[in-house]
Amino acid sequence: MKSLNQLLLDFDYEQNFRDDDFYVGKSNFYTFELIHKWPKWEKNFLNIIGEKSSGKTHLVNIFLKKFNGIKIESNLLNENNLKSIQSFQNIVLEDLNLDVDENLIYTLFNTIDQNNKFLIITSDKPIVEIDFKLKDLRSRATNCLLAKIENPDDELMFALILKNLSDRQIALDKKLIDFIIKRVERSYGKIFEFIYKIDSISLKKKKSIDFKIINEALEE
């Protein structure tokens, strides 16, 4: 994986970053390092926490590509795929929330524990804060390593904006990107929404993105 600094130095506006590129900054460094330390974890359960679009899925895909395993959406967990995980050492459960079969989740925890397997759970907030009805599941939820992806710092915001612009084949001067960074909410989702917004305004007006278009998007 490239470091964030390498990505910024190597950036070419005509370049499309590959799907397996991941931008490492202060906001996600701990989580990125932790998944690469497998299997030398303190516990067999890891809860990766972060807002939507913060890179949780990207991280677990990196993990699975390197160490192998199976990934299941939490609301799609059923008796059949619960049985199918028996042959895997690493299991990823994506987007755990209240919209799940709690008995199946509890059974999954027990399977991991009894067979010395590893479970990574992604969620918007720590699963220990999810108000499960099943008391035993609430107890299990306390036995997880926590790795939180923090809000992006300036460096990571710059890289994310570059990535989104590159995907849309848009070239922006660095001073325009710096202008955006200072004014957009420090949120992964908001960054993506804002790039979509300025692109839409630009296409509608048939004009290149400039300070005027950026300010118009900020005022909406």
We report the CATH number of the domain holding residue 170 as 1.10.8.60
- Give the pLDDT band (50/70/90) at residue 184: very high
Which residue in this structure is represented by tokens 């995980």? 85
- Give the pLDDT band (50/70/90) at residue 3: very low
CB 81 within 8 A of CB 174: no
Residues in the chain: 220
- Give the pLDDT band (50/70/90) at residue 166: confident
Same domain, 135 and 34: yes
Integer angstrom CA distances of residue 10 from 16, 19, 144, 185: 12, 16, 38, 26
∠ CA 144-38-63, nearest 5°, is 95
Pairing of strands 118-123, 90-94: parallel
Backbone angles phi, psi at 161, to 5 degrees: -65, -45
∠ CA 146-133-122, nearest 5°, is 30
Cis peptide leading into residue 152 (ω within 30°): no
Average pLDDT, whole number, for the chain?
Answer: 88
Same domain, 61 and 131: yes
- Give the pLDDT band (50/70/90) at residue 84: confident
- DSSP lists the bridge partners of residue 193 as none
Tell me, yes or no, whether 213 lies in a domain.
yes
3-state secondary structure of 49: strand
Tell me, yes or no, whether 7 lies in a domain.
no
Q: Is residue 121 over pLDDT 90?
A: yes
Same domain, 104 and 199: no
Tell me, yes or no, whether 17 lies in a domain.
no
Other Cβ atoms within 10 Å of 202 Cβ, number: 19
Residue type, 7: L
Q: Is residue 15 over pLDDT 60?
A: no
Over residues 195-208, mean pLDDT: 93
Residue type, 151: N
Over residues 26-48, mean pLDDT: 95
Tell me the pTM.
Answer: 0.83
Same domain, 164 and 120: no
Over residues 76-82, mean pLDDT: 90
Number of domains present in the structure of the chain: 2
Same domain, 163 and 184: yes
Domain final residue pick, 104, 128, 148: 148
Range of the domain at 195: 152-219
Tell me, yes or no, whether 97 lies in a domain.
yes
Same domain, 129 and 162: no
